[in-house]
Amino acid sequence: MSRSGARRRRGHGAQKGGGGHYVVEAILNDVLVGGVHMYEIKWKGYPDDHNNWVAGWNLNCPEILEEYNRTRKQNTADVSQFYKILESAAEHHPITVKNTVDEVGYPENFVYINKSVCSDEVPRPCSPMFPCECKDKCVADCPCVRERYYDKNGRVQVEAGTALMECGPKCGCGVNCSTRVVQRGSGVKFEIQRYEHKGWGVVTRTALARGTFIGEYVGELISFEEAEERGLADTAMGLTYLFDVDMACTGGEIADFSIDAKMQGNITHFFNHSCQPNMEIYPVYVEHRDPRLHRMAFFAARDILAGEELAFDYSPAASDGGGARLDCFCGAVSCRGSIFL
């Protein structure tokens, strides 16, 4: 997903030489936005994070453009609605989109949000947090940093599934406190891509180190009863975005609440399944310590290369028992062949 036009960081030239203009090294991708062909440009002598989108009429590299058109199937889907919706949705970086498979565009009636919304059945959290009195950043002996959930670079360094306790809104420390990782939002540069068998998916445009925060699963926070009702309908359709808030549950306990990202959500709505995932999920507490209402955050499970698809395991505890399932097209060496709903 991306924007309603070219997001230029550099001005109008498509060359860079001694005279101060940028030189096109390669064309990486193209999309159709409102009838205008936009091209993603790699600039000669600049790292990948300087890549940006330029309208075709503003390019001055006919030989490179001819070679690109000769060797690559052009994108025929008009993704202008993606760009329009995401104009103000992305947290820190523009989200781009690529569809060279079909003409499917933005999901109908889907609302992009960056924070979960609660239904009327969801109560206010009943376990308030006790704020620290630190200034600017938490000091070494502050209870908030005693567990050392994150390293100095803000990367998670505890086992997957460990509850992460971050400083809350009443703590005295500032936004740059080392514990405030998830609440600061994702700094990942995302691209939404269309796949032949998997539909929409998400890749990272830059390399990510193990432990990097990638995104928070957000949507409608609903009751168990509502989730059961929606789940039956979703299973009949062969598609569900329900995520039980159950990472604090033990034994046979059932989650009181679920997050449904089907009609409202963020970039995580588009994450695909993999039987060999490169992301792990952690419960996170910020505003309170109510175990029934923790937030859910994705972190890099290993070093991830630029251009890799971001994926997690939809059903890590699934067995070959009963239940609805879909064919899996994740392509992992250890693919189980099915996704359990």
Retrieve residue 263's tokens. 């009609």
Asked if 125 contacts 287 with a C-beta cutoff of 8 angstroms, the reply is yes
Q: Is 249 annotated as a binding residue?
A: no
CA distance 54 to 28: 11
Q: Is 171 annotated as a binding residue?
A: yes
The count of other CB atoms within 10 Å of the CB of residue 15 is: 15
CA distance 90 to 70: 33
Asked if 283 contacts 248 with a C-beta cutoff of 8 angstroms, the reply is yes
CA distance 46 to 1: 24
CA distances to 139, 146, 156, 179 from 175, in Å: 14, 18, 18, 9
The count of other CB atoms within 10 Å of the CB of residue 319 is: 8
Retrieve residue 11's tokens. 């001005």
Q: Is 144 annotated as a binding residue?
A: no
Asked if 299 contacts 211 with a C-beta cutoff of 8 angstroms, the reply is yes
CA distances to 2, 275, 291 from 226, in Å: 33, 29, 19
Q: Is 142 annotated as a binding residue?
A: no
Q: How far apart are the first and last CA of the chain?
A: 26
Q: Is 167 annotated as a binding residue?
A: yes
- Residue 242, classed as helix, strand or coil, is strand
Q: Is 335 annotated as a binding residue?
A: yes
CA distance 203 to 21: 30
Residue stretches of the annotated binding site for Zn(2+): 132, 134, 167, 171, 173, 177, 275, 328, 330, 335
Residue stretches of the annotated binding site: 132, 134, 167, 171, 173, 177, 275, 328, 330, 335
